[in-house]
Chains A and B, each alone.
Chain A
Amino acid sequence: MADKTLDAKGLNCPLPILRAKKTLKEVPRGGTLEILATDPGSVADFAAFCKTTGNELVESTADGGVYRFLIKHTG
């Protein structure tokens, strides 16, 4: 179970990233943020975001057009 969940479904680039960055501030260091998105571009974007900011992308899965990302706040 993630510490916080962000529903970014229906939002397009760059909103899922912007909202995730904002929400990540409310997650304690070491905690996890779950993000749900429908933007297919978010798969590559969250990988790049995590790599650049030093946060850990623990999970990246897709289910019926909904992408789910689990980010550990390590950045």
Chain B
Amino acid sequence: MSEAENNGVNAKSMTIIVTKGTLDWAYPPFILGTTAAAMGVDVTMFFTFYGLSLLKKKLDLAVSPLGNPAMKMPMMGMHMGMPNLVGMLPGVEAGATAMMKDMIKKKGVASIEELREAAVESDINIIACQMTMDLFEFKKEDMIEGVKLGGAATYMEQALKSHINLYI
């Protein structure tokens, strides 16, 4: 039984298309999905292209300052961005990722693993795009339990009857 049926008060539904697989972009879909489910909304998340990385059993997410001028990290009492030329150097991406994960932990922000677990627990309908699974040569065994496979029509069937449809 879905949360919405459980709850009865707020039998609304939402879909989210998840297209990005970096550490920073993993947050919006999982935060909104899990919160909506907690508020009694029936949620479907459709993972396609790089978003598929978020369904792999072992998450290995990274964030890159390259081509991201808005990424300014708090450092020495100020906020510092990173010139693209520096962002290209080996080890910078790993360093930025470690720094972001450290900040996430210190500030009591949930890890993506934690939010994903909450998504599964709250019966969010998780669909992996069959076409991109084939394109990137991912196997269903690479993904967490409970993932369904589907295509654009599977998504559309859900989206047409949903109150909110997001593309992230």
Q: Do A53 and B7 have beta carbons less than 8 Å apart? A: yes
Given contacts A52-B10, A75-B7, contact A17 B35 (CB under 8 A): yes
Q: Do B40 and A52 have beta carbons less than 8 Å apart? A: yes
| Cα–Cα, bound, A10→B35 (Å) | 18
| B38 in contact (CB, < 8 A) | yes
Among residues of A, the one whose C-beta sits closest to the C-beta of B118 is A18
- With a cutoff of 8 Å between Cβ atoms, the chain B residues found around residue A18 in the complex are 34-35, 38, 110, 118
| Cα–Cα, bound, A11→B110 (Å) | 8
- Number of A residues near B (Cβ < 8 Å) is 16
- With a cutoff of 8 Å between Cβ atoms, the chain B residues found around residue A10 in the complex are 108
| B92 in contact (CB, < 8 A) | no
Q: Do B109 and A75 have beta carbons less than 8 Å apart? A: no
Among residues of B, the one whose C-beta sits closest to the C-beta of A25 is B6
* Contact partner, A75, options B9, B31, B35, B122, Cβ 8 Å: B9
- With a cutoff of 8 Å between Cβ atoms, the chain A residues found around residue B10 in the complex are 52-54
